[in-house]
Structure 1
Amino acid sequence: MASFHARSNSLPSRQHPITSQIEENLNRLRSSQSASTSSSLGQQLNGVQDLHEYVEMLLQLPQSQQALSQEHQRKSVEQLLDGSLLLLDVCSTAKDALLQTKECTQQLQSILRRRRGVEGLSGEVRKYLTSRKAVKKAICKALKNLKNMENKDGENGDVITILRQVEAVTVSVLESLLSFVSGPEAESKMSRWSLVSKLTHQKKVASEEDEQNTNEIANVEATLRSFVKSQNIKHVEKLQNELQNSESCIQDLEEGLETLFRRLIKARVAFLNVLNC
């Protein structure tokens, strides 16, 4: 992939403050993507929001508009435009997943406040888990769509390079968010791994188990599955606390995702305005 520092007449001077801010935000986001707790994801969403605000500014510069209007850039521009629409679709899927999970979380909290003990609770727990299964199915489809945005070929001017790097970082953050909301893969998939694969991934699995402790949504689901198996009242007591943490986590992610969604729309409108000039 081309460097930001490559000279080209298609981009404003590399000292331009907008270009510098985009580069700085890209580097910051790349360095923070190894972490996937709710707190780190919130920070990444904020970073991507800022990134697309600068992209909107970049697209308003005459030099950028001139570069994107060149005939030899048409295919790349069309790919980026299609990509921006797909990002909006994936954001909508993520928003729906969070909303559905939050509503089920709130409903379960309400039921726990009204009832004492475990009697009659199993049915409600299964409803929650069924809803989560539908959420994971939608997320799996969205993740596959994001994978289709990778590895675009062709030589590009600097503006195209920057826009593709912004797209790539946005895809990465959305993948992390969707994976967080979905939670760890089902244990049944483990049975399809070869013995060699299991041994190779032992450390990775241990790391994922440690990370789950900071995934509020996954913690709720794990406790509910344990309750279904054991019917132990201790799981219910633990669950009340975890549901509150999960609801708070979802609320924060929803707010960050909603702001990103609006920024993506504005950046797309700016892109369309460039093409219509």
Structure 2
Amino acid sequence: MASSPLNSKSNHARSISLPSRPHPLIALCNEHLCRLGAFDAPSSSPSTLSNKLSCLQDLHECVEKLLQLPQIQQAIVQERHDTWVEELFDGSLRLLDVCSATKDALIHTKECARELQSMMRRRVGDMVLEREVRKYLMSRKVVKKAVQKALKGMERKCAEKNHETLTMVSTLREVEAVTLNVFESLMSYVASFKLRSKSSSWSLVSKLLLPKRVGCENEETERSELEKVDAALYSIISERTTKSDYTMQVENVQDLLGKLEPNVQDLEEELECLFRRLIKTRVSLLNILSN
């Protein structure tokens, strides 16, 4: 693996310090952060998540412009061995990794849902349908395990933060923290778990590890389409019903899958746009540190 630009040996004296006066772009970043903070913290509805991802794109576009400023680039190069530069560099990779994991979980969910929906439209026999339902539910377990792994990584890597720093550094740290929080919300949607207000990543991990109770919620809140699909499918394979009830259950799942697809597609597109912005930020940092 190629060595990090941060590891280059340079012992020359530093004469350039990070500007103490906030740049207008920093103020703009803070405005975007305020917009994101205005959303209800525990909400994981598709519409809210889509809006959050759109806001994140604006926020990271602002960060990209910030990194193009000559004085910022000089400060990064001159202070490349300082902790804040290392955190900025490592954070850009962390965001890419978490975004990629979130995107993979979302795409996997979408593809499995489409396959199940296609099978139901063909009106296959009960045995074939039950096999496909079990296949889908197994895929959901795979997604939840992937989410569990990603959340554990987020909890471990984001545990230590020192906020006694300059304005620009503090803002960039806040950008990373808010971005990870949105990814956490998106993962909770994909894995069908509720986020509590101001919850930590570990709270979600703990919830993933608890014994599962199908079709039962501790909180009186509206369930997402994914939760409803999971509950309905478990009912199909676990409950003994009449032919008419069984047909109604299958039709209900088809209806839920039809509502789910455009929501997941929209989130995937927003996430892909954000992923490209995160790549641009990473490339910019690499270019700056290679000078």
Calculate the TM-score normalised by the size of structure 1: 0.83
What's the CA shift for 1:73?
6.1
Decide whether the 8 Å contact of 2:80 with 2:289 is kept in 1: no
CA distance in 1, matches of 2:163, 2:171: 14
Q: Which moved more, 1:149-158 or 1:117-126?
A: 149-158
Deviations 1:230-258 (A, max 9, x none): 25332111001101111111101100110
Deviations 1:66-120 (A, max 9, x none): 3333438622211221121121111111111111111111111111111167453
Decide whether the 8 Å contact of 1:101 with 1:132 is kept in 2: yes
The number of aligned residues is: 252
2:203 equivalent to 1:176:
no
2:290 equivalent to 1:268:
no
Aligned residue for 1:43, secondary structure, equals helix
* Counterpart for residue 222 of structure 2: 211
Q: 2:58 is matched with which residue: 50, 59, 65? A: 50
* Counterpart for residue 163 of structure 1: 172
Q: 1:133 is matched with which residue: 123, 126, 141? A: 141
Gaps of 5+ in 1: 1-8, 192-203
Taking the TM superposition and a 5 Å limit, the aligned residue runs for 1:230-245 are 230=239, 232-245=246-259
* Counterpart for residue 195 of structure 1: none
Deviations 1:131-172 (A, max 9, x none): 110111011111111112243237432221111010010010
Decide whether the 8 Å contact of 1:12 with 1:64 is kept in 2: no
Decide whether the 8 Å contact of 2:112 with 2:136 is kept in 1: yes
* Counterpart for residue 201 of structure 1: none
Deviations 1:13-68 (A, max 9, x none): 43x43222101000110121422200000000011111111001001112222333
Structure 1 residues 211 and 235 mapped into 2: Cα distance closer, same or farther (>3 Å)?
same
Decide whether the 8 Å contact of 1:118 with 1:233 is kept in 2: no
Aligned residue for 1:60, secondary structure, equals coil
What's the CA shift for 1:12?
7.1
What's the CA shift for 1:124?
0.7
Decide whether the 8 Å contact of 1:67 with 1:157 is kept in 2: no
Q: 1:86 is matched with which residue: 87, 91, 94? A: 94
CA distance in 2, matches of 1:33, 1:175: 14
The structure where helix makes up a greater share of residues is 1
Decide whether the 8 Å contact of 1:83 with 1:149 is kept in 2: no
Taking the TM superposition and a 5 Å limit, the aligned residue runs for 1:36-75 are 36-71=44-79, 74-75=82-83
* Counterpart for residue 189 of structure 1: 211
CA distance in 2, matches of 1:136, 1:233: 29
Q: CA RMSD in A?
A: 2.3
2:229 equivalent to 1:220:
yes
Paired AA for residue 222 in structure 2? E
